[in-house]
């Protein structure tokens, strides 16, 4: 007996290291599962997490794997399976906020509304965190709408709306929807407008506003809103058909009833500085791809005397300052006609025409450009300095401005700064803009060689010289000639509006550090509001949608966009696949009744989900079901743009809160580059 006990003891001692190694291996399997998820293999990740759950005796590891499994299943619409793992998790951690919160969303999708309300109510009592409590109250109000009706839902949503700034837009959107159910349509319109005030990129609210306007017989605003939607999503037949149908109720010139800026006279009466800087050609009224839109006609006013130069015949006419002329393509006769200030035909040609101010740096105001085939293009009047070329194309022409890079810097800065007067921020923007424009002017950035730069976000948005402010002009002058360089190489000098805490290269702006990424940890990260001290967050938290945002997207419009190129039928799920180490999504799988499509890259994902209006690709996504299909997808995101280069709002925070000068700001965002003055 003693020998047998000794032998068993020896075997146990020999097995102990192996058992310990087994526990270590389970921790590694858990880490590998998270890596599989990041790599775009959610099914493999789920299998590994399950293995950990069934094999591990480590309570913390087990609980983590359970929450990750629940997150994966919730994300893919497998709510019953997610709920099963959440119930296991509740046994291990009965007072865990997230367990009850996630139970609420899954029960909501399973249409067990009373249990969902109880789960949300329970979760809100388990936390003192205002972010999490507000998210729970938001979910509870949605459940309340199904149980006690729209009035009770509105009461719960008002609590979130009045106290928590980071859910303002979706809360206002849902209040509007419930007011409509109560047949209070005018009040519903006001709240949907509020949703767009707090988040102008809330495309779902824009769609709902158009419908409400039409249902209320407000034909002019309905037409304007459907026009905006058709401009944003030109391939959506529903929007374009509605826009055409409502035109008959609109009186007056349609272009003048939209949001394009119109100017009577040039704001720059004198010529701008005739600086001998880098000359460049700018393609005007360019689309998102950087291609100038085809112009059928436009009027122009020169602030100085000018000459008209025919591309083949040479100088043909002279004109006086302050006189309005016009250029138009005559489709019937297939010629280009120039009319003087009296409306008389001054010249007819088939050649390109150049408008050349006699004074160097003279300003030309382009008025009322007709761009019938353009979409997503700012069609406002535009002031330019230097020569303006009407380049002949088939059935129209391109407008190309030959000017210096320096004349573009101030208006570009004013446009990016969005009204800010922080001098050091504007100087940092001026150096970055000048560097970017100079670099792009030196390299082939477009398929056409007729121009170097374009006035869209493809290069750098340029609304015209009239966009500049006194502050932006001062910043451009104070930094004149300064560029970001490493040796003889110019910095890429990219911009984005708000990084949300960390730029793509890892520059910290006071954001909440990302946890070690797993399906649940990333999702939980998007539930939290921004931390105190975040540089890109303004003092007025109602303007926070650039930094932390939430959208409620109906599947109907996503399906329509997807079905144009890949037949998916009715959407069942949108499943994130590969993510970058910082959580930015690289691929998304759309699963439908007719098939599956994989969207790769930020542009494809943004186009499908929001017709290009999605703020960034740093987001989590969850479906909320009604029956077999999603009623909507909750998209919770961080930041605006791709996070590359200079954070515009972060630069403002550095200047305002840290008293940083512009060189410090540039060193912060571009540590590998130095500011150099190049004359």
Tell me the per-residue pLDDT of 402-424, one tens digit each, with 9 for 90 and over. Answer: 999 999 999 999 999 988 999 99
Q: Do residues 46 and 519 make contact, with C-beta atoms less than 8 angstroms apart?
A: no
Mean predicted confidence (pLDDT) in 432-444:
92
Q: Which residue has the tokens 């006690």?
A: 148
By C-alpha distance, which of 184, 189, 240, 178 is closest to 214? 189
- State yes or no: pLDDT of 17 exceeds 60: no
- State yes or no: pLDDT of 605 exceeds 90: yes
Backbone angles phi, psi at 671, to 5 degrees: -65, -20
Residue 641 to residue 533: CA distance in whole angstroms:
21
SS3 state at 279: strand
Name the percent of the chain lying above pLDDT 90: 82
SS3 state at 143: helix
Q: Which two tokens stand for residue 33?
A: 């599962």
Q: Which residue has the tokens 């840290």?
A: 658
Q: How many CB atoms lie within 10 A of CB 282?
A: 26
- State yes or no: pLDDT of 676 exceeds 90: yes
By C-alpha distance, which of 508, 509, 536 is closest to 418? 536
Residue 340 to residue 349: CA distance in whole angstroms:
15
Residue 562 to residue 576: CA distance in whole angstroms:
16
Backbone angles phi, psi at 134, to 5 degrees: -70, -40
Q: Do residues 277 and 385 make contact, with C-beta atoms less than 8 angstroms apart?
A: no
pLDDT of residue 1: 43
The CA-based angle 194-199-204, given to 5 degrees, is 85
Mean predicted confidence (pLDDT) in 605-611:
94
The CA-based angle 406-412-416, given to 5 degrees, is 150
Where in 261-305 does DSSP place strands (E)? 279-283, 297-302
pLDDT of residue 275: 64
Task: Write the DSSP assignment of 345-410 as a string of letters.
Answer: EEEEESS-EEEEESSTT-EEEEEEEE-TT--S---S-EEEESEEEEEEETTEEEEEEEEEHHHHHH
Contacts of 592 by beta carbon, 8 Å cutoff, 6+ apart: 559, 562, 568, 569, 570, 571, 572
- State yes or no: pLDDT of 134 exceeds 70: yes
Q: Which two tokens stand for residue 282?
A: 């700018």
- State yes or no: pLDDT of 274 exceeds 80: no
Say what angle helices 113-124 and 97-109 make with each other, to 10 degrees.
160
Q: Do residues 629 and 602 make contact, with C-beta atoms less than 8 angstroms apart?
A: no
pTM over 0.85: yes
Tell me the per-residue pLDDT of 209-250, one tens digit each, with 9 for 90 and over. Answer: 999 999 999 999 999 999 999 999 999 999 999 999 999 998
Q: Which residue has the tokens 């709510």?
A: 79
**Average predicted confidence (pLDDT) for the chain:** 91
Residue 396 to residue 369: CA distance in whole angstroms:
12
- State yes or no: pLDDT of 548 exceeds 70: yes
Mean predicted confidence (pLDDT) in 174-191:
96
Strand-pairing partners, residue 676, are 483
Say what angle helices 130-147 and 168-181 make with each other, to 10 degrees.
10
Q: Do residues 646 and 669 make contact, with C-beta atoms less than 8 angstroms apart?
A: yes
Pinpoint the alpha helices (H) of 183-327.
Answer: 185-198, 203-215, 219-232, 237-246
| Sign of the alpha-carbon dihedral angle for 636, 641, 642, 645 | negative
Residue 227 to residue 122: CA distance in whole angstroms:
45
Q: In which region does residue 308 sit, left (phi positive, over 0), alpha (psi from -120 to 50) or beta (all else)? A: beta
Residue 106 to residue 89: CA distance in whole angstroms:
14
Binning pLDDT at 50, 70 and 90, where does residue 612 land? confident
- State yes or no: pLDDT of 92 exceeds 50: yes
CA-based radius of gyration for the chain: 29
- State yes or no: pLDDT of 11 exceeds 50: no
Tell me the per-residue pLDDT of 32-56, one tens digit each, with 9 for 90 and over. Answer: 999 999 999 999 999 999 999 999 8
Tell me the per-residue pLDDT of 448-463, one tens digit each, with 9 for 90 and over. Answer: 889 999 999 999 999 9
Mean predicted confidence (pLDDT) in 120-136:
95
- State yes or no: pLDDT of 2 exceeds 70: no
- State yes or no: pLDDT of 538 exceeds 70: yes
The CA-based angle 622-624-625, given to 5 degrees, is 135
Where in 470-555 does DSSP place strands (E)? 482-486, 489-490, 495-496, 548-553
- State yes or no: pLDDT of 22 exceeds 70: no
Tell me the per-residue pLDDT of 356-394, one tens digit each, with 9 for 90 and over. Answer: 999 988 999 999 999 988 888 989 999 999 999 999 998
Mean predicted confidence (pLDDT) in 106-127:
96
Binning pLDDT at 50, 70 and 90, where does residue 5 land? very low
| Sign of the alpha-carbon dihedral angle for 173, 174, 176, 180 | positive
Strand-pairing partners, residue 302, are 364
Residue 279 to residue 289: CA distance in whole angstroms:
23
Q: Which two tokens stand for residue 15?
A: 């097995």
pLDDT of residue 24: 54
pLDDT of residue 276: 65
- State yes or no: pLDDT of 3 exceeds 90: no
pLDDT of residue 14: 37
- What domains can you pick out in the chain, each with its CATH number? 26-249 (1.25.40.10), 279-490 (no CATH), 519-638 (no CATH)
pLDDT of residue 56: 86
Q: How many CB atoms lie within 10 A of CB 551?
A: 27
Tell me the per-residue pLDDT of 614-638, one tens digit each, with 9 for 90 and over. Answer: 999 999 999 999 999 999 999 999 9
SS3 state at 615: coil
Q: Which two tokens stand for residue 358?
A: 């006699």
């Amino acid at each position: 007996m003693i020998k047998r006990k000794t032998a068993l003891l020896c075997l146990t001692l020999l097995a102990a290291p192996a058992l310990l190694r087994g526990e270590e291996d389970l921790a590694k399997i858990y880490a590998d599962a998270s890596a599989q998820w990041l790599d775009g293999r959610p099914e493999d990740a789920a299998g590994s997490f399950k293995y950990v759950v069934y094999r591990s005796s480590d309570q913390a590891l087990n609980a983590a794997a359970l929450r990750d499994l629940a997150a994966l299943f919730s994300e893919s619409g497998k709510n019953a399976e997610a709920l099963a793992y959440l119930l296991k998790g509740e046994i291990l951690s009965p007072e865990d906020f997230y367990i009850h919160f996630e139970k609420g969303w899954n029960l909501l999708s399973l249409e067990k509304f009373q249990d969902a309300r109880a789960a949300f109510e329970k979760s809100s009592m388990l936390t003192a965190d205002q972010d999490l409590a507000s998210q729970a109250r938001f979910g509870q109000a949605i459940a309340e709408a199904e149980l006690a009706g729209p009035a009770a839902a509105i009461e719960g949503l008002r609590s979130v709306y009045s106290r928590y700034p980071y859910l303002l837009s979706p809360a206002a959107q849902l209040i509007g929807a419930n007011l409509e159910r109560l047949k209070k349509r005018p009040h519903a319109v006001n709240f949907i407008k509020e949703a767009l005030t707090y988040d102008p990129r809330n495309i779902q609210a824009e769609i709902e506003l158009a419908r409400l306007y039409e249902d209320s017989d407000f034909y002019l605003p309905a037409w304007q809103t459907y026009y905006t939607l058709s401009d944003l999503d030109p391939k959506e037949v529903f929007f374009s058909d509605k826009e055409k149908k409502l035109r008959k109720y609109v009186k007056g010139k349609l272009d003048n009833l939209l949001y394009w800026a119109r100017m009577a006279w040039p704001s720059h009466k004198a010529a701008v500085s005739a600086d001998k800087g880098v000359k460049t050609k700018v393609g005007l009224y360019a689309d998102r791809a950087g291609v100038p839109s085809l112009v059928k006609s436009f009027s122009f006013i020169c602030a100085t005397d000018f000459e008209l130069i025919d591309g083949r015949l040479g100088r043909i006419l002279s004109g006086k300052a302050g006189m309005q002329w016009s250029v138009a393509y005559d489709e019937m006769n297939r010629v280009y006609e120039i009319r003087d200030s009296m409306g008389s035909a001054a010249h007819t040609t088939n050649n390109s025409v150049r408008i050349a101010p006699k004074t160097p740096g003279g300003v030309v105001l382009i008025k009322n450009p007709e761009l019938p085939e353009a979409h997503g293009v700012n069609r406002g009047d535009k002031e330019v300095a230097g020569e303006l070329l009407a380049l002949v194309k088939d059935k129209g022409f391109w407008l190309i401005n030959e000017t210096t890079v320096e004349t573009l810097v101030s208006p570009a800065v004013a446009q990016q700064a969005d009204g800010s007067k922080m001098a050091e921020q504007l100087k940092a923007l001026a150096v970055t803009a000048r560097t970017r424009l100079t670099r792009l002017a030196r390299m082939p950035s477009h398929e056409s060689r007729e121009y170097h730069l374009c006035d869209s976000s493809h290069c750098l948005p340029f609304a015209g010289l009239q966009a500049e402010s006194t502050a932006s002009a001062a910043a451009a002058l104070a930094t004149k000639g300064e560029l970001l360089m490493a040796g003889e190489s110019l910095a890429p000098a990219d911009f984005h509006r708000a990084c949300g805490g960390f730029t793509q290269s890892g520059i910290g702006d006071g954001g909440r550090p990302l946890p070690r990424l797993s399906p649940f940890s990333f999702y939980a990260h998007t539930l939290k509001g921004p931390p105190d001290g975040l540089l890109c967050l303004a003092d007025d938290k109602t303007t926070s949608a650039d930094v932390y945002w939430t959208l409620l997207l109906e599947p109907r419009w996503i399906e329509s966009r997807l079905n144009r190129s890949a037949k998916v039928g009715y959407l069942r799920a949108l499943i994130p696949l590969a993510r970058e180490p910082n959580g930015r999504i690289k691929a998304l799988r759309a699963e439908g009744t007719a098939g599956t499509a994989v969207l790769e890259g930020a542009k494809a994902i943004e186009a499908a989900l929001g017709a290009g209006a999605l703020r960034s690709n740093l987001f989590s996504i969850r479906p909320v079901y009604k029956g077999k299909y999603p009623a909507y997808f909750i998209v919770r995101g961080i930041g605006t743009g791709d996070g590359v280069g200079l954070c515009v709002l972060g630069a403002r925070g550095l200047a305002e809160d840290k008293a940083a000068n512009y060189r410090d700001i540039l060193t912060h965002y571009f540590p590998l580059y130095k500011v150099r003055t190049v004359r």
